[in-house]
Chain A
Amino acid sequence: MSALNPVIGRFLGSVKEDWVDFMLAHIDPMLTVKRVLARVVAIHDETSDIKRFVLKPNKHWQGFQAGQYVSVKVMIDGSFNERCYSLVNSPTDQVLELGIKRQPKGKVSNWMHDNLSVGDVIELGDVGGEFVLPAVLPSKMLLIAGGSGVTPIYSILAEALKRQANLDVAVVYYVNTDKDLAFADDMVQLAVKHPSLKLHYVLASSGEAGRFSQQQLANVCADYAERDTYLCGPQGLMGAVAKVWAEQGISNKLTQEVFGLPAVDPNKPVSEMPITLRRSQQLLLNTKPTLLESAEAAGARPVYGCRIGMCKTCSCTKVSGVVRDVITGAIDDQPNTQIRICVTEALSPVTLDI
């Protein structure tokens, strides 16, 4: 499909892409014009609540850098839901691997654990993330992971050691019990192959020494302040680590990856929420009862129609953020959904694709 002759190209340009994909799917469900699809080839239980999904992407997969995440689109109860998951495999592998933890109230994670089977085909969206290794590796590294945050950490670890087999790297992995260690076998194998890797498991079940603190960290890794550090884990751990780094004045040596959807901060007043208009590159404050009015108050000119939520002329893509429909009260915290800005208010920082 990539080297089209101009006539076919022009013809396909006037035919809807989803019509062509629909026809191609009758031949092979993985065949598309440009959408990236992936077939589930294996599912393993890493821990009681983390599953490893192994996927084979189609020809349109463009690759990624170790530590990055991919957006996964799955259809649940009639609508597509997008979530970003870190890629655990090496960028040169033929298959993709995701480690997905079942979140207590997680719509997508629960669906994937309970409904996704080997042989199913799902759609992949964009690859993204800044949680990657620099072009020149530092002399010493420290990787801190908590729970399912081990996924991008493991990816970075494997890539770093591939680039420099004798890299001085320490991994500190915080979990509740030894049953919660995900990708442990993989990391142990790396430790066997690379003596310069120091692996530390910190189990909360073992008591006081099983929780993060500045003292606890110094005990397992005395020179932590000299190392370039990568951190990914639950909010509590991340906040605590970032605090220690800030107190020591070494925040510039800490790279963090944050998981999860935006949440409403009850302490922050709604009128101070920043609203980003991505295409027109404008940043404004949420000063009015609806997104449309806030944008207009700041001098932007989004297109609108009836202004009562009926004609959908003002409908646009909300890239991220928590919003509320002022007519029905319905809350929407999902990425990449369509909203009518004339009847929607922001509850968290919001980015719109206008």
Chain B
Amino acid sequence: MSTTSKSRDLSLEEINAFGAELDALRKETMASLGKKEADYIYGVRNFVRYTEIAGRTSLMLGWLPPFWLAGTALLGVSKIVENMELGHNVMHGQYDWMNDASLRGSTYEWDTVCTADNWRHTHNFMHHTYTNVRGMDHDIGYGVLRLFPEQKWEPRFLANPVAAAILAVTFEWTLALQSLELEKLISKEKTFAQVRQEFVPIFAKMRKQFTKDYVFFPLIAGPMFLPVITGNFAANLIRNFWTFSIIFCGHFTEDAETFPIEVLENESRGQWYLRQLRGSSNLTGGKLLHYMSGNLSHQIEHHMFPDVPGMRYAEMSVKVREICERYGQHYNTGAFTKQFSTVVKRIFKYALPFSRKVEDPRAETIVAKAAKVMPMTTTSRQVTSIAA
């Protein structure tokens, strides 16, 4: 945890009650899913398809600058929405209840270099289960960045800003390679042979995506192949930058907290919700921001309810915010520029050896803190028996 959490420490009873209220909110929302949500996701899917066709067609007239600009913009938007509002959400199983096999979380394949299978493992399972737990959540720095003082400093982190910039430009490629955990080659935890074997399906997807954007469409454009290549490249770059920015604002803002691995021991449902809340941050904005960010502007709600359709997060956030206020928990939200500037600050600050040694990680877990807090209605004897 950071040195001063803005959230009040809660007793175990309060944590249970907190979790129960959020469970009730989830249950109520899930029971109300129907035509509205189905129509919405079909609308998103159709928007992705039409903008892709319009963008790619426009690029075939791309020798004329207005067509190149329009084509690149449309294709960039198409890829962003396909990756975020459609793909990421569908793969979380948010629309499994529709029984439409083309929108099934376990089989959906998305338009980016990262394989859906790897994403489901590293993101849905690892990142969402071990959110912001140091040593478990690989998304804390992706193996190349140092973003929190508790992470051990190494000389390579002096290149933080450069690494971050490269990450932003190549984000879809680095996400594709994330499951390989290449930094383990440096620490010798992994062998090159292992990595090479795991790379096989990743390479297949990379080849497919590369062929689509840089071989197939340029070929069918005939003499117009050059603006198609440059347009596709630019559209991919636009998507990389945008997804990088939104994702980095999710867990690396100033007030975002990380946790020691001990926090996972006997973590109750309420404690899980608290960790998701304290490790995530939102972005304030209108419907356009919510749509274009794949509703990751509601990172808190997404982390509390990953399998609830994202288009419900805005409405749920009103209740979530109210619950957090009553329990004295900080609800981390702010405008994009403000939130992103604190992320940039982290990238620069922790390139340098500012660190915080954690003496007793167990003392910092939510359980331990709860044990020290006296709830209003129980005796001290009951509390100390849990502290062991």
Contact = CB atoms under 8 A, between A and B. Distances in A.
A78 B34 CA distance: 5
Contacts of A78: 33-39, 97-98
A79 B105 contact: no
Contacts, number: 90
A316 interface: yes
Contact of B106 (A81, A82, A338): A338
A108 B176 CA distance: 43
Interface stretch (B121-129, B180-188, B330-338): B121-129
A16 B102 contact: yes
A22 B39 CA distance: 15
A97 B35 CA distance: 28
Interface string A161-205: 000000000000000000000000000000000000000000000
A75 interface: yes
Interface string B93-134: 100111111101110010000000000110011001100000
Given A75-B38, A79-B99, A312 B92 contact: yes
Given A16-B102, A78-B98, A79-B100, 17 more contacts: A16-B109, A19-B49, A78-B34, A79-B99, A82-B99, A306-B125, A308-B272, A310-B128, A311-B124, A311-B306, A315-B93, A315-B105, A315-B106, A328-B30, A329-B27, A330-B27, A337-B99
Nearest to A305: B125
Interface in A324-354: 327-330, 334, 336-338
Contacts of B99: 73, 79-82, 334, 336-338
B97 A338 contact: yes
Interface string B301-327: 000001100000000000000000000
A208 interface: no
Interface residues of A, number: 31
B125 A311 contact: yes
Identify the interface centre among A79, A81, A308, A327: most chain B CB within 10 Å of its CB: A79
B213 interface: no
12 contacts: A14-B208, A77-B35, A79-B38, A81-B99, A306-B125, A310-B306, A312-B307, A313-B124, A316-B106, A327-B27, A328-B26, A328-B31
A18 interface: yes
Interface string A1-32: 00000000000001011110010000000000
**What bracket does the count of chain B residues touching chain A fall in?**
35 or more
Nearest to B208: A14
B93 A312 contact: yes
Interface in B17-65: 23, 26-27, 30-31, 33-39, 46, 49
A80 B100 contact: yes
B110 to A, nearest CB: 11
Nearest to A332: B97
A165 B128 CA distance: 67
B6 interface: no
Contacts of A16: 102, 109
Interface string B360-377: 000000000000000000
B269 interface: yes
Contacts of B36: 78
